[in-house]
Amino acid sequence: MLAEMMTFIKEVDKLKTIERRTYISDQSRRENSGEHSWHVCVMAMTLFDVYERKKETDLFTSIRMLLIHDIVEIDAGDTYAFDVLGYEDKNEREELAADRIFGLLPASKRDEYRSLWQEFEKGQSNEAIYAMIIDHIQPLVLNVSTEGKSWIKHQINAHQVLTRNSWIKDISPLIYSQIIEWVETGIEQGWLKNN
């Protein structure tokens, strides 16, 4: 059992090698998925006090989801939020990755982690919804911190950002108001196209 757990622990270190499209705040390089997973967990803990549905949401479960939600990227790669073609086979790639990577664990831990990952992917529980909100806004934080570096590089427009995050409006008006502010700043600064 311990040997299987150690194999998994060594394997998930590979998440640090998966590059994302967003840049770290000093703009020196692109963020990796291991860093992203850490950052979203800190964000989830920090923003929880202002989250409108915190009484119905178990923060620890959300954090556990955030810690493992991108592990599948070790095999499947990171699918950029605005990559329409990448999303065509994203679910299939990630399911295969989940089979292999979580399959390294002893059965009880495998099932526990796979269940948390699937709950996040379905996005229906209170915990998954909160985790998904955090996962969606983290790249926005980095884009604003880097003067829109990734937005500019990929020629992203305000409509794309708002459409991707519109579902947050009714769940967390406060967080959505921050998204609107970031988008408006992006337009004003020329980081986001306004079309």
**How far is residue 36's CA from residue 16's CA, in Å, rounded to a whole number?**
9
Would you state the pLDDT for residue 86? Answer: 81
Residues of the chain with pLDDT under 50: none
Fold of 2-189: Hypothetical protein af1432 (1.10.3210)
pLDDT (tens digit per residue) in 60-71: 999 999 999 999
Indicate the domain borders of the chain: 2-189
Would you state the pLDDT for residue 53? Answer: 98
CA-based nearest residue to 132, from 92, 186, 175: 175
Would you state the pLDDT for residue 81? Answer: 87
Would you state the pLDDT for residue 110? Answer: 98
Would you state the pLDDT for residue 87? Answer: 84
Would you state the pLDDT for residue 161? Answer: 98
Would you state the pLDDT for residue 177? Answer: 98
Would you state the pLDDT for residue 84? Answer: 85
Q: Rounded to 5 degrees, what are φ and ψ at 34? A: -65, -45
**How far is residue 190's CA from residue 78's CA, in Å, rounded to a whole number?**
26
